[in-house]
Amino acid sequence: MKPYFKNEIEFEIIPGITSSISVPAYAGIPVTHRGIARSFHIFYRTYYGKMESGIILKNIAKLEGTLVFLMGVKNLDLIVSDLIKYGKDSKTPVAIIEKKELLKIKE
């Protein structure tokens, strides 16, 4: 938002629903659902590929609930292999939504 202030451009912040919830919902996938998921966790792509990514994914693999990885398609192989390597069940249901504006859903 600094460029807006710096250049004296008027803007308005409109509260909304994060894409980590709205995009899966639009695809028919509830991120939270009573009796199924007690929690959900959102992860952003900046963590992938760093030296500590293994440590981070090791901790993520232990989490219960819904895991949402934003902008993770490029690193999908790393995410999946490390989650399984660190204990996530390989039979855990997965949905991949790519290019939400086109709503391409892969199963």
C-alpha distance from residue 100 to each of 19, 20, 58, 83 (Å):
9, 11, 28, 24
pLDDT on residue 86: 92
pLDDT of residue 48: 58
Tell me which residue has tokens 């199924």.
36
CB burial string 66-86: b at 16+ within 10 A, e below: bbbbeebeebeeebbebbeeb
- Cβ contact 57:45 at 8 Å: no
Highest mean pLDDT out of 17-26, 45-54, 97-106: 17-26
Q: Is residue 28 predicted with pLDDT exceeding 80?
A: yes
For the stretch 57-74, pLDDT in tens is: 888 999 988 899 888 888
> Model's pTM, two decimal places?
0.71
Convert the pLDDT of each residue in 45-61 to its tens digit.
Answer: 655 555 456 678 888 99
